[in-house]
Chain A
Amino acid sequence: MGLRTKFTLLLVILASLFLAYIHFLVAPQMSRRVLAIEEQAHRAQLQLTAEAIAPPLLENDLAKVYELLDAIRYDNPSWLQLQLFSPAGRRLYPLNEPAGFEGIYPLLQLEEDIGFLQPAIGRLRVAIDMTAGVEAEAQLEGTLRAALVPFLILLLLALWLELELRIRRPLAQIVLAARQLVKGDGAQPVPVHKRDELGELARAFDDMRASMQRNHIDLAAELQEQRQRASLLQREKQQAEFDAIHDALTGLLNRRELERQVAIALDQVQTHHWKHHILLFIDLDHFKAVNDNCGHQAGDHLLCEISHVMRERIREQDVLARVGGDEFAILLKDCELQMGVRIANDICGVIQHHRSYCDNRNFQIGASIGVAPLLSASGTLAQVLAAADAACYEAKRKGRNRVEVAVADVDVKAQSDQVA
């Protein structure tokens, strides 16, 4: 329910209460007062009558008494019945039995003793038709209503307008401005010119809005900065994450990542026995000669080329890592030992045929490759790595540029020799 409805309802309730107050409290009291005044006037008139007829009555001048009472009755048409009684209770006026007044309502009956002596020299009794009094009372009440109701309507209208103009509309303006501000429009006018509390509120709102707009600009700039910073941090984080698991020179995975991947693969093998993964440990032969003769830069270049060559010989899912200066490792996933040995031999052959040129000299390098299958019985990661490393060493020891399978598996070793 809006303020306007509430105001209207409140004013209607107030008006109803006021009219009820007039109707139930003021008007009846006024009516009683009017009737009381009317009765008082009749009583005073009756007293005057009693005083007027006392002298002729004392002298038994009944004609004079009749003359006075007739005149008084003529002057008071509402006196339906005026009777004079002797102290003995005999009717002296009027001469004949007066006509009844049944059915006339409202009726007021008054009595008054004549003279100040006791017993009184007579008694006046009057029956008064109070219709005129009641009509006057009704007329007064009507007049009161006729005067009050337009006044009340005007007053309520003025009150309504006052509330509407002074409270509701300024409030509605402020509310609208607040809503517009939420939508981003800060130009909605508010009644800052008003000198009351609402004006104060509007000014406070205006100040707040101005302050918010200023802060909004600052916040936007800061947000932009924060976004840039976050983006930078994200890139740095990604780089750091990349760097953490990659080799800086070749871009291949580093030793730590390789170990992690091998640990996962080992875990798979030991959990699911049908899985077969192969770890190749590759050590380049005669790489030191390139480094020494052509410089580290040429050596680094050669390492990158070799990395590229090896990458081309394995599947996407396989893991290639540089684990040392001229040492590499490959985790062949879901690969049988024979296939692994074949790939190792392929790589070995490719590296052997790779030619590196420096200062018009041709350098040939080779690769000693140790092959270690990941088996449920392979033991720990260190043991697997050690087995692969040992196989590589065995290949070097046996004349370099060859593939050697880890000695733990005799059958495979035999196959390896056969392949070699």
Chain B
Amino acid sequence: MKYLLILLLSLLTLSANAQDNMSRPAYTIGVVPQFAQRQLFDIWQPIIQALEHDLDFDLQLVGSSTIPVFEKKYLAGEYDFAYMNPYHLLKAYQSQGYVPLVRDGQRQLKGVLVVNRNSPYRQVSDLDKQIIAFPSPNALGAALLMRADLSGMFDLEFFPRYVHTHSSVYLNVALGQAAAGGGVLSTLKQQPPEVRERLRVIYETRGMPPHPLSAHSRVPAKDREALRRAWLKLAQTDTGRNLMVRIPMYQPVAASLDEYLPMQSWGLDKYYILE
């Protein structure tokens, strides 16, 4: 009888603890798969763990295999928080009411058009009817904005080749498999020196604020703000800064929707390709 009582008490204690854990809400956070899944988790998991110390809720990192899958998920509102590109933010805002919380304040997102250093191409018009490599059709700076500029502003006729990643774009150009390639400055800087020294930038697109961490409209304002504060607070520490550099987000600042809305007039939808 005594033992039965002890057993019941133990069970009650366990269920009470479980109740305690369950009382802390958990939000999902999605990250655009710019890199391999493992690399994304390596970058983001330490940041999330650091953030959770200052939060009343947990964050659960949710991966997605490809960018189209990621797009489908945020368009369906699956993520409570999401790190995405500015164009995605516009779409997410329009469909699910996602709003930006923080972004990198040090740089602007710009597409760059690179050619092989030894190639004869000096300007955009030299690339008439040439193969141009892009990571994917809707990669914002590297492909979407670049294609909008090349076709809309330069009226250039070219053959796009989609090679999945920025690194592949640079390699294709470096190895002469494509006449030119669309990328962004940040990824170009991350390439190894032997790749970079074979490339030459011949064009930069218009600039825009870089990727924001955004929140779904269903997330209570206090939790959104809590996350923004926690993020900015973490960014003040050396540890946090070192972690966020890897996103890359060199100097996190608070982001507002107004910074992104002007992009709506750039007509990017025309070049967006549904996959």
A interface vs B, CB < 8 Å?
Answer: 56, 59-64, 66, 86, 90-92, 95-96
Q: Are A62 and B195 in contact (CB under 8 A)?
A: no
Q: Are B175 and A64 in contact (CB under 8 A)?
A: no
Q: Are A64 and B195 in contact (CB under 8 A)?
A: no
B interface vs A, CB < 8 Å?
Answer: 133, 161-168, 171-172, 174-178, 194-195, 198
Instruction: Please measure, in the bound complex, the distance between the C-alpha atom of A59 and the C-alpha atom of B135, giving whole angstroms.
Output: 11
Q: Are A60 and B194 in contact (CB under 8 A)?
A: no
Q: Are B177 and A63 in contact (CB under 8 A)?
A: no
Contact of B161 among A60, A92, A95 (CB under 8 A): A60
Instruction: Please measure, in the bound complex, the distance between the C-alpha atom of A91 and the C-alpha atom of B176, giving whole angstroms.
Output: 10
**A94 CB to nearest chain B CB (Å):** 9
Q: Are A60 and B163 in contact (CB under 8 A)?
A: yes
Instruction: Please measure, in the bound complex, the distance between the C-alpha atom of A61 and the C-alpha atom of B36, giving whole angstroms.
Output: 13
- In the complex, the number of residue pairs spanning A and B with C-beta atoms less than 8 Å apart equals 47
Q: Are A96 and B167 in contact (CB under 8 A)?
A: no
Q: A90-B175, A95-B174 are in contact. Are A62 and B194 (CB under 8 A)?
A: no
Question: Which residues of chain B have C-beta atoms less than 8 A from A56's C-beta?
Answer: 164
Chain A's closest residue to B161 (CB) is A60
**B33 CB to nearest chain A CB (Å):** 13
Q: Are A59 and B194 in contact (CB under 8 A)?
A: no
Instruction: Please measure, in the bound complex, the distance between the C-alpha atom of A272 and the C-alpha atom of B203, giving whole angstroms.
Output: 167
Q: Are B194 and A63 in contact (CB under 8 A)?
A: no
Chain A's closest residue to B174 (CB) is A95
Q: Are A61 and B168 in contact (CB under 8 A)?
A: yes
Q: A66-B171, A95-B171 are in contact. Are A60 and B177 (CB under 8 A)?
A: yes
Q: Are A62 and B161 in contact (CB under 8 A)?
A: no
**A114 CB to nearest chain B CB (Å):** 15
Instruction: Please measure, in the bound complex, the distance between the C-alpha atom of A327 and the C-alpha atom of B162, giving whole angstroms.
Output: 170
Question: Which residues of chain A have C-beta atoms less than 8 A from B176's C-beta?
Answer: 90
Q: Are B168 and A95 in contact (CB under 8 A)?
A: no
**B182 CB to nearest chain A CB (Å):** 14
Contact of B194 among A64, A86, A90, A96 (CB under 8 A): A96
Q: A66-B171, A95-B195, A96-B194 are in contact. Are A61 and B163 (CB under 8 A)?
A: yes
Show 12 A/B contacts (Cβ-Cβ < 8 Å), sorted by A: A59-B164, A60-B172, A60-B177, A61-B164, A62-B163, A62-B168, A63-B163, A63-B165, A63-B171, A64-B168, A92-B177, A95-B198
Question: Which residues of chain A have C-beta atoms less than 8 A from B195's C-beta?
Answer: 95
**B191 CB to nearest chain A CB (Å):** 10
Question: Which residues of chain B have C-beta atoms less than 8 A from A66's C-beta?
Answer: 167, 171
Question: Which residues of chain A have C-beta atoms less than 8 A from B163's C-beta?
Answer: 59-63
**B103 CB to nearest chain A CB (Å):** 26
Question: Which residues of chain A have C-beta atoms less than 8 A from B167's C-beta?
Answer: 62-63, 66
Chain A's closest residue to B178 (CB) is A60
Question: Which residues of chain B have C-beta atoms less than 8 A from A61's C-beta?
Answer: 163-165, 168
Q: Are A92 and B168 in contact (CB under 8 A)?
A: no
Q: A95-B194, A95-B195, A96-B194 are in contact. Are A64 and B164 (CB under 8 A)?
A: yes
Instruction: Please measure, in the bound complex, the distance between the C-alpha atom of A61 and the C-alpha atom of B176, giving whole angstroms.
Output: 14
Q: Are A64 and B177 in contact (CB under 8 A)?
A: no
Q: Are B168 and A60 in contact (CB under 8 A)?
A: yes
